[in-house]
Structure 1
Amino acid sequence: MDILVFIGRILFAVLFLSSGVNHLTQTKAMAGYVSSRVPVAVPAAPTVLGSGILLLAGALSILLGIWADLGALLVVVFLIPTALLMHPFWKEPEAETRQLEMIMFFKDIALAGAALMLIAFFSYAGHELGLTITGPLFDIN
């Protein structure tokens, strides 16, 4: 089972690792996108940099098994606001754009659900789970 969980952690984390790197290396372009999507005045560049750090920290935590439950929580903290602020499909007048934003919204929500399950899984398995550097930070048994 340990190897299956490890492979799952790799597959789950790779999306957030690549996204975090993009946030940090293409900050200007991503800040422009944030500014175009979020109607309220948010400091786009610091938000993109902060979310990039959040993504990298969460993904590396899950991947390496260092307080992986905390890493999964960081991913949830990124995904829920992103789904609500960046992909409000209900506001889109065009059917094609609305469909694309709906897919992105529910992808983020589904990934947040998976990350919440990871929090519970890591907390429940605790130190019994192999191929991790530390046990969980949280004890929610």
Structure 2
Amino acid sequence: MNGNVENPVLKSTTELVGRLLLVGLFLLSGFGKITAYTATAGYMTAMGVPPAVLPLVIAIEVLGGLAILLGWKTRIVAVLLAGFTLLTGVVFHHDFADQIQMIMFMKNVSIAGAFLLLAANGAGRFSLDARTRRLS
């Protein structure tokens, strides 16, 4: 058997599960910010970020996470979330003398890398993007 033969169901299922795993953090974080709005605004202020941007951050995390999960406008949203993830890493995890902050920064870099792979390859067969292409 040729090692290059793909199993389309396995590939499509893996793409869907990968998207779910990738955005789980964003969905939990976004909803967590809603339930702890005042505390989150205070933390942002302490980090030099105006709390007025908190609604935008929540929208990016929740709506962007849902878009990736559903595979809607995946390439565009993935690029936007990669930039957002890098920006939050720089703003909130820039104390590289602290090993935990360095690890958190590298986590953000890794997540951004996953989003860029998603932007390059698309959401796959089990997505609204693929459904839209099939209906066109």
Instruction: Please tell me the TM-score bracket, short chain as reference.
Output: 0.7 to 0.9
Amino acid of the structure 2 residue aligned with 1:132: S
SS across alignment from 2:129: coil
Paired position in structure 2 for 1:16: 26
1:131 is the counterpart of 2:126: yes
Q: TM-score, normalised by structure 1?
A: 0.78
Matches for 1:39-118 after TM superposition, within 5 Å: 42-44=49-51, 46-90=52-96, 98-118=98-118
User: 1:74 & 1:11 partners in 2: Cα distance?
Assistant: 18
- Maintained 8 Å contact 1:69/1:119: yes
Q: What is the Cα deviation at residue 56 of structure 1?
A: 1.1
Highest RCO, 1 vs 2 (Cα 8 Å, sep ≥ 6): 2
Any gaps of 5 or more consecutive residues in structure 2?
1-10, 131-136
- Maintained 8 Å contact 1:58/1:70: no
Runs of 4+ in 1 over 3 A off after TM superposition: none
- Maintained 8 Å contact 1:57/1:71: no
SS across alignment from 1:89: coil
User: 2:83 & 2:64 partners in 1: Cα distance?
Assistant: 10
Paired position in structure 2 for 1:7: 17
SS across alignment from 2:128: coil
Amino acid of the structure 2 residue aligned with 1:68: T
Q: What is the Cα deviation at residue 109 of structure 1?
A: 1.0
Q: What is the Cα deviation at residue 100 of structure 1?
A: 1.1
- Maintained 8 Å contact 2:85/2:108: yes
Paired position in structure 2 for 1:26: 36
User: 1:83 & 1:4 partners in 2: Cα distance?
Assistant: 27
Q: TM-score, normalised by structure 2?
A: 0.80
User: 2:83 & 2:57 partners in 1: Cα distance?
Assistant: 9
User: 2:80 & 2:28 partners in 1: Cα distance?
Assistant: 15
